[in-house]
């Protein structure tokens, strides 16, 4: 057996032990504190309370039966009319708009008129600035041409989402009817994913063909399995309830780490389920959208890959309309501050989110500099490759630690709790815990390198 295989076996053994320790400790914490946690409800599993302390997940889960009925009715009517009468372009836009506005009336009542009024004002502004907008669109022609040369989907004769997004439309496609249909399209109205106008309008004429019926069905089955995983998680591990109840202040450093790690995984799975539900709805309706969570949170070992894989459709929007106009890679160190501050304000105008954004940028700067230097010095010898791999794993462990700190400030402890958190995690009794955390992240990063290496 080669040294590399022995190393992989040792890393897998450590990872298995790590998760066994985390699961065992999580079960114990949830059991011991169940009487003091807020947001627990009677569960569907006998003898276990269900953690519904997160309002967003509670509302989505509670309204899931109604949403599914609405999805079935919308898809049945829209697809039946589309295929029976061969509707395209304006015909499909009119049908989808009528169905979507009916859906919006159910959600908002008379306030739908304000939404449509805002849409009309925005459409008028875009028409006035149409020349300037078209000049901006020319910035992406080169990007589109390079993509067409290396995309396997486009090379096979199909048209991927990116190509639809960058492909120019003829003038009569930019109509008020299509625009209103785009804004109110029921499957994507509540939570996205974000789809570009060009890609949406193109699929009014020709429904997506990149996903077969079998692939879409399997996509739905995987969603159901993931939902069952979430049900098991919220019944056995009450991570979010610890945050809502603010009981983390009474925990040991190791227990704080367990809860923090669990909350991040809960958040990832929550958004994964919400976004994939509506993407599935859109795919069945014939509209392909970007995948918002293409990678698991535990498979990201640097900030850049993490943010490309978290709300990916929003990331693409930010890159297109903020990052590139601000100078892109040429002014990366400056533009990230503007982009992340915008993201924080876009979520909500709260000091804890601003702190999260600026902490993320503060941790992002060293990563950008290290990556820039690393790209200039590519090792060739076996010793050089070994050193490079070890240093990359250490850097990845540091990055994950920084990412956890930023998200703890933004979504768990807030700016007011960071002093207490630092005093607990930097005390003498916490040093063994910090060593364990760092080694675990180091092992995780090294493990992620193996599928990429011969």
Residues above pLDDT 70, as percent of the chain: 92
pLDDT tens figures, 382-391: 777 778 788 8
pLDDT for 141 equals 53
pTM over 0.85: yes
Three-state secondary structure along the chain?
Answer: CCHHHHHHHHHHHHHHHHHHHHHHHHHHHHHHCHHHCCCEEECCCCCCEEECCCHHHHHHHHCHHHHHHHHHHHHHHHHHHHHHCCCCCHHHHHHHHHHHHHHHHHHHHHHHHHHHHHHHHHHHHHHHCHHHHHHHHHHHHHHHHHHHHHCHHHHCCCCCHHHHHHCCCCHHHCCHHHHHHHHHCHHHHCCCCCCCHHHHHHHHHCCCCCCCHHHHHHHHHHHHHHHHHHHHHHHHCCHHHHHHHCHHHHCCHHHHHHHHHHHHHHHHHHHHHHHHHHHHHHHHCCCCCCCCCCCCHHHCCCHHHHHHHCCHHHHHHHHHHHHCCCCHHHHHHHHHHHHHHHHHHHHCCCHHHHHHHHHHHHHHHHHHHHHHHHHHCCCCCHHHHHHHHHHHHHHHHHHHHHHHHHHHHHHCCHHHHHHHHHHHHCCHHHHHHHHHHHHHHHHHHHHHHHHHCC
Average pLDDT rounded to a whole number, residues 393-406: 85
pLDDT for 135 equals 45
Residues above pLDDT 90, as percent of the chain: 40
Is 347 annotated as catalytic?
yes
Average pLDDT rounded to a whole number, residues 242-255: 85
Confidence of residue 454 (pLDDT cuts 50, 70, 90): very low
pLDDT for 149 equals 63
pLDDT for 130 equals 65
Average pLDDT rounded to a whole number, residues 374-387: 75
Query: What mean pLDDT value characterizes the chain?
Result: 86
pLDDT for 379 equals 73
Among residues 48, 301, 347, 388, the one annotated as catalytic is 347
Residue ranges covered by each domain of the chain = 3-55+214-452, 89-205
pLDDT tens figures, 329-373: 888 888 999 999 999 999 888 888 888 889 889 888 888 888 777
């Amino acid at each position: 057996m080669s040294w590399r295989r022995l190393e992989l076996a040792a890393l897998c053994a450590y990872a298995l032990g790590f998760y066994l320790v985390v699961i065992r400790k999580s079960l114990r914490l949830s059991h011991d504190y169940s009487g003091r946690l807020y947001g627990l409800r009677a569960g569907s599993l006998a003898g276990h309370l269900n953690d519904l302390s997160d309002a967003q997940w509670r509302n989505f889960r509670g309204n899931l039966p109604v949403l599914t009925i609405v999805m079935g009715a919308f898809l049945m009517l829209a697809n039946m009319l589309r295929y029976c009468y061969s509707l395209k372009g304006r015909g499909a836009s009119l049908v989808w708009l009528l169905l979507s506005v009916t859906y919006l009336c159910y959600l908002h009542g008379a306030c739908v008129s304000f939404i449509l009024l805002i849409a009309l004002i925005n459409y008028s502004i875009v028409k006035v600035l149409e020349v300037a907008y078209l000049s901006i669109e020319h910035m992406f022609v080169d990007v589109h041409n390079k993509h067409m040369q290396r995309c396997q989907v486009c090379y096979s004769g199909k048209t991927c989402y990116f190509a639809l997004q960058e492909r120019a439309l003829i003038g009569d496609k930019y109509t008020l009817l299509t625009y209103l249909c785009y804004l109110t399209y029921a499957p994507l109205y509540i939570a996205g994913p974000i789809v570009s106008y060009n890609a949406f309008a193109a699929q009014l004429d020709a429904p997506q063909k990149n996903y077969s019926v079998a692939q879409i069905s399997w996509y739905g089955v995987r969603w159901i399995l993931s939902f069952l995983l979430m049900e098991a998680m919220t019944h056995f591990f009450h991570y979010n309830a610890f945050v809502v109840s603010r009981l983390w202040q009474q925990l040991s450093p190791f227990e704080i780490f367990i809860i923090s790690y669990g909350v991040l995984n809960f958040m990832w799975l929550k958004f994964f389920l919400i976004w994939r539900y509506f993407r599935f709805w859109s795919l069945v309706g014939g509209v392909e959208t970007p995948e918002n969570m293409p990678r698991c949170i535990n498979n990201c070992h640097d900030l850049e890959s993490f943010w490309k894989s978290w709300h990916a459709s929003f990331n693409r929007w930010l890159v297109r309309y903020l990052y590139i106009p601000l100078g892109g890679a040429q002014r990366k160190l400056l533009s990230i501050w503007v982009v992340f501050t915008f993201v924080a304000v876009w979520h909500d105008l709260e000091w804890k989110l601003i702190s999260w954004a600026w902490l993320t940028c503060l941790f992002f700067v060293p990563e950008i500099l290290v990556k820039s230097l690393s790209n200039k010095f590519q090792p060739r010898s076996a010793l050089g490759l070994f050193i490079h791999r070890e240093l990359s794993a250490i850097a990845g462990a540091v990055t994950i630690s920084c990412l956890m700190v930023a998200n703890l400030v933004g979504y768990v402890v807030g700016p007011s709790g960071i002093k207490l958190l630092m005093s607990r995690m930097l005390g003498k009794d916490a040093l063994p815990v910090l060593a364990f955390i760092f080694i675990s992240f180091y092992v995780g990063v090294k493990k992620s390198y193996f599928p990429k290496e011969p």
